[in-house]
Amino acid sequence: MRQGCPVIRRPTRPVRVGPVTVGGGAPVCVQSMTNTPTADGPSTLEQVKVLASAGCEIVRVAVQDEDALEGFRFLRRNVRIPLIADIHFDYRMAVLSLEAGADAVRINPGNIGAVWKVREIADAARARGASIRIGVNAGSLQRSVLRAHGRPSPEALAESAFRWIEILEGMGFTDLKVSAKSSDPMETVQVYRMISEGTDYPLHLGVTEAGTLVSGTVQTTAALSLLLTDGIGDTIRFSLSGDPVPEVHAGFELLRCLGLRTGVRVISCPTCARTEIDVARWAREVEEKVRTLSVPLRVAVMGCPVNGPGEAKEADVGVAGAKGFAVLFVKGKTRRKVTPEGALDALMEEIEELVRKKGKERLNEGTT
């Protein structure tokens, strides 16, 4: 299988979000955002834990008022994962979130208002070694930029981002990440290309208001694939309506596809009249079990024994359904028959064996 990374990343400076480095050649990291009321600390804590166990590396949490701030404080006391406080309008919430232990704040300076308020945020971040994401957004550009461009065009978004970079640099603050998301995937590509030409701050990629699971995933993938293969982007988020956990899954899947992360790729056949097992369910179950493994493996779940192993001969290991039993195969060759009930456990044993073997190989490579 394909190894290594064909993408040449554009050099960016490293910025810390708590223990995670963003940019500076660090792996592109996957973010998501909670959608429970932040004021409800225990529910948000539960969601953050689920996101973390799905592999999410940085979690963003909206802190919009005093109650949310209280929930954020509760959260900070109970989780170690890097937390970004997402702030609109009220600079005091940014300052107080930083005092509560936020690793970074995301602000849209266009709606924070006066420059002195942005300075207060920068001073609070500097005092705690926290970073700031300038999060320009098509829906909330400052009026002067909007007037000059007539609409939130890629040029307008880029201009706004550059303005705020300059303002924060003028305050001596450079621990910055930048995002400028449009809800249009191709405009998102344009704006990030422009920004990447003009700055070496790390970029957080995403398509804003991308949509529901399928539509939003496709739109985000379309834009982010173009950017990431150009080497642009240091951290990503899929902004999908609903449960945030699939955002994390989609993020890792995309990075794996582009060779920017290693991990287990589960392939499954599209099913046809020959299908003997519930391919979709089996594939989902395998995906759940292997999601956080970082060893590069291909695992196949195929519907029939006639074409399954042959069709999946690129797979390291796989299972194919048959009448009353299932077949485990390795590199396209049948290994053994198993009962349908025991098939997934048997497959997992094979995977664990391969993971152990590959882990040892990696260890040996590292010591020679």
Name the residues that contact ligand SF4, by CB under 6 A.
269-272, 274-275, 302-304, 307-308, 311
By beta carbon distance, the residue nearest ligand SF4 is 303
For 88-99, b/e burial (b = at least 16 CB within 10 A) is bebbebbbbbbe
Query: β-strand 20-22 against 15-17: which pairing, if any?
Result: antiparallel
**Residue whose tokens read 């290309």:** 193
Judged by CB, which is closer to ligand SF4: 272, or 363? 272
Residue type for position 49:
K
Judged by CB, which is closer to ligand SF4: 21, or 271? 271
What is the smallest separation between the CB atom of 206 and ligand SF4, expressed in angstroms? 34
What is the smallest separation between the CB atom of 270 and ligand SF4, expressed in angstroms? 5
What is the smallest separation between the CB atom of 318 and ligand SF4, expressed in angstroms? 10
What is the smallest separation between the CB atom of 249 and ligand SF4, expressed in angstroms? 23
Torsion angles phi and psi, residue 295, rounded to 5: -80, 135
Residue type for position 208:
T
Judged by CB, which is closer to ligand SF4: 252, or 282? 282
Encoding tokens for residue 147? 């007037």
- In eight-state DSSP terms, residue 153 is -
Judged by CB, which is closer to ligand SF4: 103, or 311? 311
Whether residue 18 contacts residue 45, with contact meaning beta carbons closer than 8 Å, is answered with: no
Name the 3-class secondary structure at 10: coil
What is the smallest separation between the CB atom of 279 and ligand SF4, expressed in angstroms? 7
What is the smallest separation between the CB atom of 322 and ligand SF4, expressed in angstroms? 10
Encoding tokens for residue 163? 């303005």
Encoding tokens for residue 184? 């249009």
Judged by CB, which is closer to ligand SF4: 147, or 281? 281
Judged by CB, which is closer to ligand SF4: 59, or 279? 279
CA dist 205 → 133, 185, 216, 227 (Å):
12, 11, 14, 9
- What does the alpha-carbon distance between residue 354 and residue 358 come to, in Å, rounded to a whole number? 6
Whether residue 25 contacts residue 219, with contact meaning beta carbons closer than 8 Å, is answered with: no
User: How many CA atoms lie within 13 Å of 148's alpha carbon, on the beta-carbon side?
Assistant: 12
| Percentages (nearest 5) of helix, strand, coil residues in the chain | 45, 20, 35
Judged by CB, which is closer to ligand SF4: 56, or 320? 320
Judged by CB, which is closer to ligand SF4: 173, or 329? 329
Burial class, 361, CB count within 10 angstroms (exposed 0-12 / middle 13-18 / buried 19+): exposed
What is the smallest separation between the CB atom of 311 and ligand SF4, expressed in angstroms? 5
What is the smallest separation between the CB atom of 50 and ligand SF4, expressed in angstroms? 32
